Amino acid sequence: MRPPKAMKKPFSIKHHQDLRRDDFYWLRDEQRSDPEVLEYLTAENQYCEHQLAPTAALQQTLYQEMTARLKPSDQSVPYFKNGYWYQQRFEPDCEFPMLVRNKQHLSAPEECLLNLNEQAEGVEYYDLAEAKVSPNQQLLAFSEDCLGRRLYQIKIKDLATGQIAEHCVDDTSGEVVWGNDSRYFYYVKKHPVTLVPYQVYRHQLGAPSSLDQLVYEEADDSFYISLHKTRSEQMIVIGAYASTTSEALYLDANNIDAQPQLFNAREKNIEYELEHFAGQFFVKTNALGKNFALIAAPEQSNHVISLPFTQWPVIVEHKSDVLLQGYELFNDFIVIEERCNGLVKLRYRHWQHQQYQCIEFNDPTYTAWLAINPEPNTSLLRFCYSSLTTPASTLEVDLTSGQQKTLKQQQVMGDFNAQDYQSERVWAVARDGVKVPVSLVYKRHLFKRHGNNPLLVYGYGAYGLSEDAMFSSDLLSLLDRGFVYAIAHVRGGEELGRQWYESGKLGNKHNSFYDFIDVTEALIKQGFGDPKRVYAMGGSAGGLLMGGVINLAPTLYHGVVAQVPFVDVLTTMLDESLPLTTGEYEEWGNPNLYQDYQRIKSYSPYDQVKAQVYPHLLVVTGLHDSQVQYWEPAKWVAKLREYKQGDTLLLLHTDLDAGHGGKSGRFKQYYDTAREYAFLLWLAEQQPLS
């Protein structure tokens, strides 16, 4: 079967006197209904299925392996809030959980708040953003997306009758915050064109959304709006966030007519997050240093609040080598989540003491995070822990005694034994001399240094998002077949603090690509993989990473999986009508500025496609993706077909029913993973190409 050949329709884009020809621009269809576009995407799907036909049995085997590792029925660790125990529970073999609660005691009769399997009936995609019980415990506000565009509809359920109210709120970000009298809630509306969350409305129960009150509108489209209720539950915070600047407003949660009060006016390159608890405002900010500090002042101390952040009382000092990630406030204790030398640390102290106690972790590479702790009047802290060899675990520590216990560890069905696997943390020296951390895992008895193990390198490297080393049960299907799996913590993430992020964005973006390539070469040199069987994978901004890497080092990798890849960077960043564009200027640059334009063009994968041999490539996307529009990977594949040399595979699979996250559902999501892993395993076995 011959590969599809997209029709070439010349289209010119001129900017800064630079004329670019885009023969495949026509693949962009905002409505996702153009018969010619859908015909092409369907043809690519058919070609992909045909080329991967030899892996059909393997895909099924992998899917069965992955789903068999999941407990047929499962439930989360229950937590207590306002007189009820809450948890999620999966019925045997169901795709979605039930949200349930028990009054006062877990032995009390169970009440089903929402059965997501019923909500998802009749739709190909389903995602629940939030489900919030009203303060009076009688109503449930929940937000759901049945298309994959991340446009959520908010509905209200009467918990006494089980009835869902007639009036819904459409096109929201999914965030819901109740007023304290349970008669109204706040939500964030998304812009109809750009999909940027930009308006805050107050909705009164029983009234149509057309009568909702506009509380706040963000005029700058580079800022996104979010909502949360403070730890004290007395205030509602409107957060306005750009990449490097933020601002907060707050409302009285007890006043149905409350108007937002500006807390501290936005100042370029100053970020802060607002919290309120026990009569104090708490602010996490970079005003005292780029790795953030925590400051606080009494609510009524207007003379302090009016001062610059640099003059506030400091709770957690800024450190040049430690990134403050988060914190949790209790009546008697404060808990700090920070990142040091690439690894997460948790420490805590009593408010009356200065000395912190640390929670110790022993794996060479791991991650930890604060769990749901809704009740501040306790000495029990819940946190989660996972490593490449340790399934996700929920633990509890008594902050008074320091005693720990495991409440739950993700159960891996079958013959899984953590002792069969080995994780390592190594450092690779990049071409400019910077040391890049790498997390590795492999099966002990299948690994031989300088042997013939296939090596899969994964990366992301953008937005300051750290790619942590977490357990993945589906990854066992590769490890059990001899693969070594590596996470390259390249610059652009925040693993080594804010500087690590800044060293991989804007004018430093090339460092992300070079780091990934240099890590791969270092791992090969150290004997972690067969040079002829090296693979790479990344999604979204990590898909951009894949596109940049294969342009720069096309023969280093035998195969690459690019998931929902952001590859048409320059054209997208020039189009302010697209979702997330203007808010991304501080990440990639503003191409309306000549210098930024040239810089983005120099690495934009679509613009840098050239006549050369490329590795085997599987590209996956979703038709309804609102983060990375489907036409970016579609155009990229069409252009690669025009330029690539040799007989390597070039495959595009578009999920016509999903968005950025792929298939929804506890089990269905593994169809996508099985396809990608089968592609890699097939290549690793050196199967002849058809």
Residues 560 and 578 in one domain: yes
Residues 445 and 410 in one domain: no
Separation CA 217–CA 110 (nearest Å): 41
Per-residue pLDDT tens digits for 185-237: 999 999 998 999 999 999 999 999 999 999 999 999 899 999 999 999 999 99
Residue 497 lies in a domain: yes
Residues 411 and 426 in one domain: no
Residues 554 and 409 in one domain: no
Residue 343 in 3-state DSSP?
A: strand
Residue 680 in 3-state DSSP?
A: helix
Buried b (16+ CB within 10 A) or exposed e, 168-180: ebeebbbbbbbbb
Amino acid at 71: K
What pLDDT sits at residue 303? 67
Residues 404 and 431 in one domain: no
Choice among 625, 626, 664, 672 that is catalytic: 625
Picking from 353, 382, 415, the residue at the C-terminal end of a domain is 415
Residue 139 lies in a domain: no
Question: Would you say residue 470 has pLDDT above 80?
Answer: yes
What pLDDT sits at residue 576? 87
* 547-554 average pLDDT score: 98
Residues 548 and 658 in one domain: yes
Residues 439 and 391 in one domain: no
Residue 399 lies in a domain: yes
Separation CA 408–CA 391 (nearest Å): 10
Structure tokens at 16: 């800064």
**How big is the chain by its Cα radius of gyration, in Å?**
25
Picking from 354, 385, 415, the residue at the C-terminal end of a domain is 415
Question: Would you say residue 457 has pLDDT above 60?
Answer: yes
Beta partners for residue 366, in sequence order: 387
* 559-568 average pLDDT score: 98
- Domain hosting residue 325, numbered range: 321-370+372-415
Give me the numbers of helices (H) and strands (E) for the chain, helices first please: 13, 38
Residue 363 is among the residues annotated as catalytic for this protein: no
Residues 605 and 661 in one domain: yes
Residue 219 lies in a domain: no
Choice among 540, 604, 626, 664 that is catalytic: 540
Structure tokens at 22: 């885009």
What pLDDT sits at residue 664? 86
Here the CATH number for the domain that contains residue 51 is 3.40.50.1820
What pLDDT sits at residue 679? 98
Buried b (16+ CB within 10 A) or exposed e, 536-565: bbbbbbbbbbbbbbbbebbebbbbbbbbbb
Per-residue pLDDT tens digits for 638-656: 999 999 999 999 999 999 9
Separation CA 237–CA 260 (nearest Å): 9
Q: Is the dihedral of CA 677, 683, 685, 689 positive or negative?
A: positive
Q: Which is it for strands 616-622 and 559-563: parallel, antiparallel or unpaired?
A: parallel
Pick left, alpha or beta for residue 93 (phi over 0 → left; psi -120 to 50 → alpha; otherwise beta): left
Q: What is the pTM of this model?
A: 0.95
Residues 504 and 547 in one domain: yes
Separation CA 683–CA 164 (nearest Å): 51
- Secondary structure of 183-216 as H, E, C letters: CEEEEEEECCCCCCEEEEEEEECCCCHHHCEEEE
What pLDDT sits at residue 450? 96
Residues 401 and 454 in one domain: no
Residue 663 lies in a domain: yes
Nearest-CA neighbor of 445 among 410, 474, 473, 482?
482
What pLDDT sits at residue 665? 87
The owner of tokens 């009593």 is: 350
Per-residue pLDDT tens digits for 80-133: 999 999 999 999 989 999 999 999 999 999 999 999 999 999 999 999 999 999
Residues 570 and 497 in one domain: yes
Separation CA 463–CA 505 (nearest Å): 8
Q: pLDDT above 70 covers what percent of the chain?
A: 99
Beta partners for residue 343, in sequence order: 340
Amino acid at 605: P
Residues 384 and 444 in one domain: no
Buried b (16+ CB within 10 A) or exposed e, 452-462: ebbbbbbbbbb
Chain CA centroid to CA 604, Å:
22
Distances (CA, A) of 27 to 118, 561, 573, 623, 627: 36, 22, 17, 12, 17
CB of 287 within 8 A of CB of 269?
A: no
Choice among 276, 616, 624, 660 that is catalytic: 660
User: What is the overall mean pLDDT for the chain?
Assistant: 95
Separation CA 224–CA 246 (nearest Å): 9
**Residue 690 pLDDT level (bands cut at 50, 70, 90):** very low
Amino acid at 304: V
Residue 209 lies in a domain: no
Residue 660 is among the residues annotated as catalytic for this protein: yes
Residue 602 is among the residues annotated as catalytic for this protein: no
Residue 176 lies in a domain: no
Query: How many domains is the chain built from?
Result: 2
Residue 361 in 3-state DSSP?
A: coil
Question: Would you say residue 390 has pLDDT above 60?
Answer: yes
Picking from 350, 385, 415, the residue at the C-terminal end of a domain is 415
Residue 263 lies in a domain: no
**Residue 689 pLDDT level (bands cut at 50, 70, 90):** very low
